[in-house]
A and B are shown apart, each in its own frame.
Chain A
């Protein structure tokens, strides 16, 4: 009994940290609609800043808590600076574009933190006066954790008072409910948003600084927390503080007791939980239905242009690319092969985002399933390459068929997070099912058949298959199927009323996108000779999003240009410098600021103005 009680208390301490971080995220999202990837970076910077201050001043209780508060305020300022310097310039871009900008910030912060604080893990001081533990029914429990447990509800109460008892809070709530109306009534949204980003950043920084006495500060903290914070926000219901609090409590307990019952599945427990919650409750535990779907930037959406000569240009490009092996070396061919594969991958995601208005955070799942499909056929059945390549889109398509049925029943960020949940589940299966997938050591020896083993031969094969798939995707975009999909994106209600079964079209698009990504994955497996769970993991999903957004979502060519730019940039910069994340992050931020409609959107825009 006493053991269970202490276990529950441990869960509460975890929940407190989770709540601090996710409350900031949910406030920022609720008001600004920004999916802030940099929130985890705020948390990490809070921890580093807290560590530095606590090392210097943390000898006394006043010094310790003062340091924590100072770190939180410093990170809050960072948040405000990001709003003023970056996000403010993007409010008129498609909503997702800010996500790309915050991703650039993530990369920059990672390298700056490594530069500023070094790469070694930093173990900070413990809180003065709270070093020991107390006896609770015969079990020791750390004093500091008790303080954290108290801090969670205290912060919730303060936030509640801030939002319900101050003018500023009322304005924020007004803007959360109806941004346009609030600004029509004379509320300056820019200043409000700066304040909100400050608050969100400060909460993340507070959560980070409070971790110093509990764990070592590392450069991996940002990614570890941001995904979990998103889970909390979505489970609780976006924009709902009480929901975030409730979700933190549940997830804290789930983790505390989960390890007793299933010590092996800690990897996916929270994602399984999120999937179940989202399947049962479309808007999380305490969220409310959106008035308008959050990803319907109807005002900026330019209809996809069906260029009359597009086909000829595409053919010319294809011919030029097919001729390249005559002119370039082996490594360039490998780079090109990868670029072509990633172009198909990005285009398949674009089908969902651009045409369907469905933003997926887990698109790597289908890429990875395709890669694993091919590799498993080779490894367990000794299948020849053509058969394995045919299996890739089939397995990915089948996976997408199942996951899609659930996902398309949700919209906006709930859809995105549900796709992420499925991707994480697929990832953990690949990661843990040793007998079949080889676990994290992956599957080796997936090399092409002898006739396609040459670099040029494999490049041509890739070009042919990806070219064909891209042509099909383009056909789909301009077929009645594509128009129905776009109708559903722009106005689901009107589309339904003219007899379009929007969900069914979205489901079909999901399967088509999954199968196309699967083909890309299968080709990638043979290009690399091995597959690993990293092919299904979050970073690759994020890369795909970045490629699509970099290229611009309003054109079919966008994702292709985005994939090429991103991949070539990354691989070239990586071989030049260890600070490639900083360089890549700065390039992304610059791109976002200079070309708020993506590379191809910018080029097309130039034409439009001339």
Chain B
């Protein structure tokens, strides 16, 4: 009896395991669509981003690309009548999940190209996957220089101005300041570190007389505001370069104002002018910081006004930086497919190299040399107006002016 019992119990276990596996496989298989519709059906774009990990930034981004897709399809789609269809997935903020999702999109959903990602490391993981599987990938938001330079590959293109470009834009302004003693505060990971490294190097080139007297490296999301502010103040810098953002930035600003850190000091700050970071601070947004950002409500070119109006009409919301990036990403993809004249992956890659399109903020070109787009950023000064943070005295810094020459950029790409 004992023997039979165990056999049956084991049988039950095996059945349970098989059932679970089968359920999973059924899900995995169900997505498999016949590729036969390839020539007439919609052009499929696989899109991956950290929707649950960073909803505050990725949801405006999603609305941006949704608007672009609707506009493209309203005008008859791509390739003379085929609809543009986006299959969007969450990567849970993990690079290994992103790679699995990318695989699912390519094999099951039969997407023609990939797009998206926010975090740098996830962007790099998907870029590596794209190169290995020879799928075009338009990285929308990751900022790391590595994605177009050190780890750059034939299949990966990046839209947003990189850490290097944004640091270079700010250095131009920082060099004009009389300040000689600088302190830096940046989150302790690649983005913060390379931003500080570029800022130091480029500023020293323009102003050999500056010195850096203190640096703080709070863990991302865990800034100890009081001690950090106090430590920065103790070094008596004349100016501060800030790279923190989001919740850390709000803490830093609040604590810094209370403790008088910013009194009589200039602050130069990366990305702080983006509404995504400036608006949550409401009337406590810092005054007089030199920043890169996106003063969406003040840009009055007809094309940008039309974008804002369409966005507001569609989502009852105001655009953020992410909205602009999402919108332009999908417009670039549509333009590339039309330029390629097919969804052939190699042809799409060739079309993306050197592709020029009109974005809401001006013409943007994906450079053939390093696959970086020339999309720029707005450089200006923060201010508080009607109880909310915004920018003043801004100008559009076109990315072309802040990128190394084509020859220099090619040398930065060892893989080619």
Contact = CB atoms under 8 A, between A and B. Distances in A.
Specify which of B20, B32, B97, B284 lies most central, judged by the most chain A CB atoms within 10 Å of its CB. B20
Interface in B233-251: 233-234, 246-247, 250-251
B255 interface: yes
B298 interface: no
A259 interface: yes
Nearest to B28: A332
Interface residues of B, number: 87
Interface in B33-78: 51-52, 55-56, 59
Nearest to A253: B227
Contacts of A142: 226, 255, 258-259
A307 B3 CA distance: 8
Nearest to B147: A441
A550 to B, nearest CB: 11
B268 to A, nearest CB: 19
A447 B151 CA distance: 15
A220 B6 contact: no
A7 B231 contact: yes
A604 B17 CA distance: 13
B125 A532 contact: yes
Contact of A216 (B97, B189, B234, B280): B280
B282 A123 contact: yes
A368 to B, nearest CB: 11
Contacts of A510: none
B218 interface: yes
A203 B146 CA distance: 45
Given A216-B280, A439-B190, A530-B128, A335 B28 contact: yes
A334 B89 contact: no
Contacts of A490: none
Contacts of A313: 10-11, 13-14
Contacts of A119: 55-56, 59
Given A145-B226, A532-B95, A599 B16 contact: yes
B405 interface: no
B309 interface: no
A603 B247 contact: no
Interface in B66-124: 89-90, 92, 94-97, 99-101, 103-104, 107-108, 120-121, 124
B316 interface: no
A351 B272 CA distance: 49
A455 B260 CA distance: 60
A266 B228 CA distance: 11
Contacts of B95: 442, 528, 530, 532, 534
Interface in B251-271: 251, 254-255, 258-260
Given A121-B246, A439-B190, A530-B124, A256 B227 contact: yes
Given A13-B226, A331-B31, A572 B24 contact: yes
Contacts of B11: 313
A175 interface: no
B104 A140 contact: no
B188 A267 contact: yes
Given A224-B221, A334-B100, A140 B258 contact: yes
B17 A561 contact: yes
Interface size bucket, A side? Answer: 35 or more
B95 to A, nearest CB: 5
Contacts of B188: 264, 266-267, 432
Interface string B264-292: 00000000000000011110100000000
Contacts of B312: none
Contact of B103 (A13, A141, A330): A330
B8 A578 contact: no
B236 to A, nearest CB: 11
B265 to A, nearest CB: 14
Contacts of A32: none
A120 B54 CA distance: 9
Given A317-B14, A329-B29, A572-B24, A334 B260 contact: no
A329 B5 contact: no
B97 A574 contact: yes
A331 B151 contact: no
Nearest to A324: B25
B215 interface: yes
B124 A215 contact: no
Contact of A215 (B16, B125, B251): B251
Given A119-B55, A532-B95, A574-B97, A266 B230 contact: no
B247 A266 contact: no
Given A215-B250, A267-B219, 7 more contacts: A14-B224, A219-B55, A255-B224, A329-B28, A434-B193, A557-B17, A578-B90
Nearest 10 interchain pairs by C-beta: A568-B24, A119-B55, A10-B226, A332-B28, A216-B250, A607-B9, A256-B227, A444-B128, A330-B107, A572-B27
7 contacts: A13-B226, A266-B224, A305-B9, A307-B9, A328-B29, A578-B51, A580-B90
Interface of A: 3, 6-7, 10-11, 13-14, 111, 114, 119-123, 126, 131-133, 139-142, 145, 214-216, 218-220, 224, 255-257, 259-260, 263-264, 266-267, 305, 307-310, 313, 316-317, 320-321, 324, 328-332, 334-336, 338-339, 431-432, 434, 439-442, 444-445, 447, 524, 528-530, 532, 534-535, 539, 555, 557, 560-561, 564-565, 567-568, 571-572, 574-575, 578, 580-581, 599-600, 603-604, 606-608
